[in-house]
Structure 1
Amino acid sequence: MKKFLFGIAIALFLNACATNTPADNITTVYLVRHAEKENDGTKDPSLSQQGQVRATYLAQLLNDVKLDAIYSTPYRRTTETAAPVLTQSGLDSLTSYAGNDLEDVAQKIHAKQGTYLIVGHSNTTPQLVSILIQRDVAPLEESDFDRLYKVTLHSDGDTHLEMLPYTPPS
């Protein structure tokens, strides 16, 4: 009986030690391409009605996520996609980034633990995901608006990529 109790005491001690070790520093990054845009012939179109619905749905999906920053390229379609999330987040503003300097964005994300949303384009979003997880990601087609990437970066260098459903209900 003493051996049994001693075994339980050791197991409880080891469990306590395990639960008191420092937690893994995790950075979570949600990445999405801008929602559907108007086909108005300009280089900087606004979102279409369908795109506005998708942007609102993105805010619903991320409603319970406490974001530390929201990154967006400075185009209407990206800032309008991020706007509903920004409104509910309590953050003051979007952090603008250049789509041609994705390495810099990745360095900023890696430098500070937190939770981020990054709104980009069909060419930049998969590229940035690839940089963050250090492996190739399939490109997006011009018609792909339903991809929400969730990248988890662990302090030990381990990465995890998850695809979340991102199609608003009809």
Structure 2
Amino acid sequence: MKKKYLLWYLSFVLLFSCKTKVEIIEPDRTYIPKHSNFDASKVNNNDANIFYFIRHAEEKNDDGENPHLSEKGLKKVDLYTKYFTDKKVDTIYSTNLNRTFETAEIIAKKKVVGVGFYDPLILDYKKFFENNKNNSIVVVGHANTTPNFINKILGNQKYSQIMQDNYSDIFRLVIVKGKVVFDEILTIENEIQKIEDAKLSPKELKKVLKERRKAKK
């Protein structure tokens, strides 16, 4: 048993320190549809695992076919690291491209977890789910691969391709006892605003909300 855990540890150390491409292999699963009457607020955090799907942050426009993150993209990843600070994350998965790996790597370093690589063209999505359903993970992908990944897990075509100028969506899948029971889309900017609002006193928050309402008029 100790030998098994040691091998897993060494594997993730290797993945975290280099960009070696690996294939994720896992066993089969039958899709279980989400419950339409599910109340996420009633789930104990100890009972649920979360799959977070995000698109890579903004990339450089003049950096060839495999661009790195831009300055704007690096700032966006800072928001993601802040968002995931108090959230359970066991592993982060990324495609083997600069913009996705850099997004995943920065978050992984903050969370002190490994980065595993996947190829969306050959990945067995059902097996991936089975292997990860008892963990909380972050999957970094692309405008087209991210919604497709989620649809494969859900077993339907619920989500469409992400708009090219949208780098802010967070897709959350709540997993309870190995079943997808709830899914939703959040935006990183709104989530960060909630985090900041939670730090305010009731009086300060009331003032801030009043100013926001005025700004919208």
TM-score range, shorter chain: 0.7 to 0.9
SS in structure 2 at match of 1:37: coil
Classify the secondary structure of the residue corresponding to 1:119: strand
Matched, 1:43 2:60: no
Larger mean CA deviation between 57-66 and 24-33 belongs to: 24-33
1:72 deviates by 0.3
Partner of 2:130: 110
When structure 1 is superposed on structure 2, of 150-159 and 128-137 the one drifting more is 150-159
> 2-side partners of 1:118 and 1:156: how far apart?
18
2:145 corresponding residue in structure 1: 124
Partner residue, 1:20: none
1:95 aligns with 2:121: no
What is the aligned partner in structure 2 of residue 19 from structure 1? Answer: none
106-115 vs 81-90, which moves further: 106-115
RMSD (Å) for aligned C-alpha atoms? 2.2
Aligned structure 1 segments of 4 or more residues deviating by more than 6 angstroms:
none
CA distance in 2, matches of 1:58, 1:107: 27
Shift of residue 114 of structure 1? 0.7
Contact 1:106 1:128 in 2 (8 A): no
- SS of alignment partner, residue 140 of structure 2: strand
CA gap of 1:158–1:47, structure 2 versus 1, over 3 A, is: closer
- What is the identity percentage for the equivalent residue pairs of Structure 1 and Structure 2? 24
Q: Does 1:137 align with 2:159?
A: yes
Larger radius of gyration: 1
Seen in structure 2, the aligned counterparts of structure 1 residues 27 and 131 have a Cα distance that, compared at 3 Å, is farther
Equivalent of 2:179, from 150, 157, 163? 157
Give secondary structure in 2 for the equivalent of 1:50: helix
Equivalence for 1:59: 81
Letter in 2 for 1:29: F
Local SS of the residue matching 2:110? helix
Give the deviation of 1:65 after TM superposition: 1.4
After superposition, residues 73-92 of structure 1 pair within 5 angstroms as: 73-91=95-113
Amino acid at match of 2:58: E
How many aligned residue pairs are there? 145
The answer on 1:71 being equivalent to 2:71 is no
2:170 to 137, 140, 148: 148
Provide structure 2 residue ranges, at least 5 long, that are not aligned to the other structure: 1-44, 194-217
Distance 1:155 1:66 in 2: 17
Contact 1:24 1:154 in 2 (8 A): no
Unaligned stretches of 5+ residues in structure 1: 1-22
